[in-house]
Structure 1
């Protein structure tokens, strides 16, 4: 139960961070890592012991404007991911908090899920990128505390 509370705290923290930085654009290397690792998320979404709390961070467009949102409860259909909007829109008007929307694979900027057995959190490339700026010992301490794996489960 403590792991679920911790994971929800991490989600809230990450959602707040990415909501505040609506012009966030993943560096090309991070975007490429996220896109290359999507098959691991896809595989978890198809397992009968489904991943806990699957989420994607996606760019949503409204004409010439766009904004970054976390979507939760992800399901996949073809090259599209459908989920519930977790962050309140600030710059675009064609979506609202709690709405279920679909986004194209190319618009996925990050993803995460929690393994139901190990309770490890996979994905979360944005957080992992920030942790790299910390001294190695502190980075390991935070990753261990959060149960974060900065690589896909294989």
Structure 2
């Protein structure tokens, strides 16, 4: 299947965003992307820990991308009052533990942030990271989507892992 530029940009936002673009609804058919009101269970906690423990490796790849890699993004928790929404951010720049980049998702619960806006955030706000090898159909990172797939029927989870080229073996450790 050929991907157009819009679909490639959506893939760069992470496989979770693609689920919405593909027309998947909130149901047992596909997982709800980790946005506002995420339930933190053991799998989600493990996913966030995996992302944070490998963040330095990811940042090295952002600075020196492997051949064929694209769509480098991080997922951050954006807080506004009582609400926290998890949004994908690309076009990253950073100095020390202070980061900035462009908001890729249209926020739903956080109203002070808009899609395309430059957002500054701290390293501690990062809960996930991702990039893709589009030609191979492989996603690196996107650990929170792996955690969400544990809530799906096994056959559906396997199909989605295959479709998005996710490696979720870290959850078995």
TM-score category (smaller protein): 0.7 to 0.9
Q: Name the residue aligned to 1:54.
A: 72
Tell me whether 1:88 sits opposite 2:102 in the alignment: no
**In 2, distance between residues paired with 1:96 and 1:141?**
32
State the SS of the aligned residue for 1:106.
helix
**In 2, distance between residues paired with 1:45 and 1:129?**
24
- Which runs of 5 or more residues in structure 2 are unaligned? 26-31
CA RMSD of aligned residues (A): 3.3
Residues 14/129 of structure 1: CA separation in 2 closer, same or farther (3 Å cut): farther
Off by >6 Å, runs of 4+ in structure 1? none
- Which runs of 5 or more residues in structure 1 are unaligned? none
State TM-score, norm by structure 2. 0.66
Deviation at 1:72, TM superposition (A): 2.2
State TM-score, norm by structure 1. 0.73
State the SS of the aligned residue for 1:2.
coil
**In 2, distance between residues paired with 1:2 and 1:147?**
16
Residues 99/148 of structure 1: CA separation in 2 closer, same or farther (3 Å cut): same
Instruction: Decide whether the 8 Å contact of 1:56 with 1:72 is kept in 2.
Output: yes
Tell me whether 1:144 sits opposite 2:158 in the alignment: no
RCO higher in 1 or 2 (8 Å CA, sep ≥ 6)?
2
Deviation at 1:6, TM superposition (A): 6.6
Give matches, 1:2-151, under 5 Å: 2=2, 5=7, 8=10, 10=15, 11-13=17-19, 17-18=32-33, 21-24=35-38, 26=40, 27-47=44-64, 49=66, 51-62=69-80, 65-115=83-133, 118-133=136-151, 134-135=153-154, 139-150=157-168
**In 1, distance between residues paired with 2:106 and 2:85?**
10
Residues 35/144 of structure 1: CA separation in 2 closer, same or farther (3 Å cut): same
**In 2, distance between residues paired with 1:125 and 1:111?**
8
Worse-superposed segment, 37-46 or 141-150: 141-150
Deviation at 1:8, TM superposition (A): 2.7
Matched positions, count: 150
Deviation at 1:101, TM superposition (A): 0.9
**In 2, distance between residues paired with 1:52 and 1:37?**
18
